C-alpha cells in the first residue's frame, strides 16, 4: 500500500511540474497577469491582517517578553532544518547540508531543543532553502505571481512546491493534526509581532501597497533562488554614489532618498 502511495505522489509531482511549465507561458506579459484576481485576494488578506492578526500580534508583543519571542522563533527555525537540509541536497550543496546538520545538532542539544541559537554564536552559517527555490535552481520558471488566500504572496512554482516541503517535514508523520495547527498559529502570531512597525511604515510610504508588496516579494524571492545576499547588493548600490576624487569638488551631491523596505 505504501509503495502505491509513493507512486501516486511521484505521479502527482510530475503533473505539478507540467503545470508549472504550462503556467510559465502565461507570464509573457509580465510577472502578474492575474492581477485582477490577485488584488481582491490581497485585499481580503489585508483585511484579515488589519482586523485579526495585527491586533492579536500587538497583544502578543505586549504580553510576551522579547526574549521569549526570540526563543519561539529560534525553536521553529530549528524545526524547519530538515526541510532546509533536504533541499540543500537536492541542489547539490554538500557544504551547506553539512552546516544544516551541525546547526540542528548544536541548537537541539546545547541550545535546548532550539530555543537558543548557539550555532550562530559558533559562526555556523544559517541557510534558507525550500523546494520552490530548488525548482528555481533546476531551471523551472516561476510562473505568474499568485496571491494565496490567508497565506499571501507566491508564484505558481512556489505554490505547487508547498506539498513537497510538507512531505519533507518529519513532524507531520507522528504529531497530531491539532498540535500542528496550534503550533502554526503560535508561529504566525509570533512572527507577525516581529514586523509590526515595519509593516505599518511600509503601508504609510507605499503609493500602491499591492505593488509594493508584490515587487518586494518577487525581488527577495529571486535573490534567494540565485543565492544573492541583500547585503552584497546594497554594497553594489553604494558604488553608484562613489565620486572620483578629481570630480568631487564640482559634483552635485544628490538628495538622499528613502531606502527600500521589504514587507515580510
Q: Which of 15-24, 83-92, 139-148 has the lowest mean pLDDT?
A: 15-24
Nearest by Cα to 17 from 200, 171, 140, 128: 140
pLDDT score recorded for residue 146:
93
Q: Which of 3-12, 57-66, 128-137, 190-199 has the lowest mean pLDDT?
A: 3-12
| Residue 103 forms part of a structural domain | no
| Residue 98 forms part of a structural domain | no
Q: Which of 79-88, 163-172, 245-254 has the lowest mean pLDDT?
A: 245-254
Number of domains forming the structure of the chain: 1
| Residue 74 forms part of a structural domain | no
Q: Looking at residue 258, what DSSP letter applies?
A: P
**Distance separating alpha carbons of residues 236 and 257, to the nearest angstrom:** 16
Q: Looking at residue 135, what DSSP letter applies?
A: H
pLDDT score recorded for residue 249:
45
Nearest by Cα to 88 from 76, 102, 75, 74: 102
Note the pLDDT tens digit of each residue in 13-72.
444 444 444 444 444 457 899 999 999 999 999 999 999 999 999 999 999 999 999 999
| Residue 116 forms part of a structural domain | no
Q: Is the pLDDT of residue 93 over 90?
A: yes
| Residue 27 forms part of a structural domain | yes
Note the pLDDT tens digit of each residue in 220-239.
999 999 987 655 444 444 44
Identify the band that residue 251 occupies on the pLDDT scale cut at 50, 70 and 90.
very low
| Residue 208 forms part of a structural domain | yes
Q: How far is CA 35 from the centre of its chain?
A: 21
| Residue 88 forms part of a structural domain | no
The C-alpha cell 507577525 sits at 192
Mean per-residue pLDDT over the chain, rounded? 83
| Residue 84 forms part of a structural domain | no
At a CB cut-off of 8 Å and minimum separation 6, what does 157 contact? 20, 23, 132, 135, 136, 140, 141, 142, 143
Domain with 149, as residue range(s), is 11-65+126-232
pLDDT score recorded for residue 230:
56
Amino acid at each position: 500500500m505504501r509503495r502505491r502511495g509513493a507512486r501516486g505522489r511521484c505521479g502527482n509531482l510530475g503533473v505539478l511540474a507540467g503545470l508549472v511549465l504550462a503556467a510559465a507561458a502565461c507570464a509573457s506579459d509580465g510577472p502578474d497577469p492575474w492581477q485582477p484576481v490577485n488584488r481582491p485576494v490581497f485585499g481580503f488578506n489585508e483585511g484579515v491582517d488589519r482586523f485579526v492578526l495585527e491586533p492579536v500580534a500587538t497583544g502578543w508583543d505586549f504580553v510576551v517578553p522579547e526574549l521569549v519571542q526570540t526563543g519561539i522563533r529560534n525553536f521553529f527555525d530549528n524545526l524547519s532544518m530538515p526541510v532546509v537540509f533536504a533541499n540543500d541536497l537536492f541542489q547539490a550543496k554538500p557544504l551547506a547540508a553539512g552546516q544544516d546538520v551541525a546547526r540542528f545538532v548544536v541548537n537541539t542539544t546545547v541550545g535546548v531543543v532550539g530555543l537558543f541559537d548557539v550555532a550562530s554564536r559558533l559562526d555556523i552559517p544559517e541557510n534558507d532553502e525550500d523546494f520552490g527555490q530548488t525548482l528555481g535552481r533546476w531551471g523551472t520558471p516561476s510562473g505568474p505571481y499568485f496571491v494565496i488566500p490567508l497565506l499571501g504572496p507566491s508564484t505558481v512554482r512556489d505554490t505547487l512546491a508547498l506539498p513537497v516541503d510538507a512531505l519533507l517535514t518529519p513532524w507531520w508523520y507522528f504529531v497530531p493534526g491539532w498540535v500542528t495547527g496550534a503550533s502554526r498559529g503560535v508561529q504566525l502570531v509570533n512572527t507577525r509581532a516581529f514586523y509590526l512597525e515595519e509593516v505599518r511604515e511600509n503601508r504609510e510610504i507605499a503609493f500602491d501597497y499591492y505593488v509594493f508588496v508584490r515587487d518586494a516579494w518577487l525581488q527577495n524571492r529571486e535573490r534567494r533562488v540565485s543565492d544573492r545576499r541583500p547585503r552584497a547588493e546594497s554594497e553594489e548600490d553604494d558604488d553608484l554614489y562613489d565620486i572620483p576624487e578629481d570630480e568631487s569638488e564640482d559634483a552635485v551631491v544628490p538628495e538622499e532618498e528613502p531606502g527600500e523596505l521589504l514587507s515580510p
